[in-house]
Amino acid sequence: MPSSPNRLDFPTMEAVEAAPHEQLARWYRFLPSGQTREQQAIMKRIVARFEKMGGMTPAIDKKIGLGGVQ
């Protein structure tokens, strides 16, 4: 996963645009809300794409769990 220069575990906007529904779900659930404006913009885009793709389905919820382990 390409990361933001401001936080190594935060995805880039390009990664968010290319991410499938399940990856968006993982970021939606496990990433912090963001400390910088860049991170907040990325998180806002994650939420928008995730919701457009159908949000948290029972299948994805079960697959990613609470700890993110596959």
pLDDT tens across 1-25, in order? 555 444 558 999 999 999 999 999 9
Per the prediction, the chain carries an average pLDDT of 86
User: Is pLDDT at 32 greater than 50 in this prediction?
Assistant: yes
In the chain, pLDDT over 90 holds for what percent of residues?
Answer: 71
Token pair listed for 40: 């907040």
The answer to whether 29 and 64 have CB atoms below 8 angstroms apart is: yes
Quick one: average pLDDT of 19-43? 94
Residue 44 to residue 61: CA distance in whole angstroms: 20
Provide the residue ranges of all domains of the chain, joining segments of one domain with +: 3-64
Torsions phi, psi of 3, nearest 5? -115, 160
